[in-house]
Amino acid sequence: MEARLNLFENAVAGKFLKYIVSADKAVHGSGVPAATQELVKLRASQINGCGYCTDMHYKDAIAAGEEPTRLNLVAAWREATVFTDAERAALELAEQGTRIADAAGGVTDEAWQAAAKHYDEDALAGLVALIALINTFNRMNVITRQPAGDYQVGMFG
């Protein structure tokens, strides 16, 4: 598969990517554990059918020491025994936040309250920002058909 647009060589796309990568840095100090961030990014990318981000976040998580079994079970997290209650709450919030168009009510109060049991206000803000950002990255990559499989850990600095 060949990309429709080179996001890194196009001036407008490149400028936009710099801004959203910069916004992503705010999430790192929010109190959301790094492992949870990767699980959330991986799950949203799976839902959105973004092969590029699925590949990236799987490889980044492995490089950070995540267990392959947990990553392989992200798509079936409800049935898996390898996730903490806090991770489950974050994954539920990520799914509902990613599937807003599929549900007239958006994110349920139950999903929000479950996340609020495990994360303080800064971490909740971080989760919301993370979910919004990964969905932005997913949409850019899916729309432009960015091919998956060639990502190397650390290639973006």
3 state DSSP class of 152: coil
Between 1.20.1290.10, 1.10.8.100, 3.40.50.620, 1.20.1070.10, what CATH number should domain 33-143 receive?
A: 1.20.1290.10
Domain boundaries, the chain: 33-143
pTM (two decimals): 0.94
pLDDT tens by residue, 122-155: 999 999 999 999 999 999 999 999 999 999 998 8
d(CA 144, CA 2) in angstroms, rounded, equals 9
3-state secondary structure 97-113: HHCHHHCCCCCCHHHHH
Percent of the chain residues past pLDDT 70, beyond the cut: 99
Q: Is 6 left (phi over 0), alpha (psi -120 to 50) or beta?
A: beta
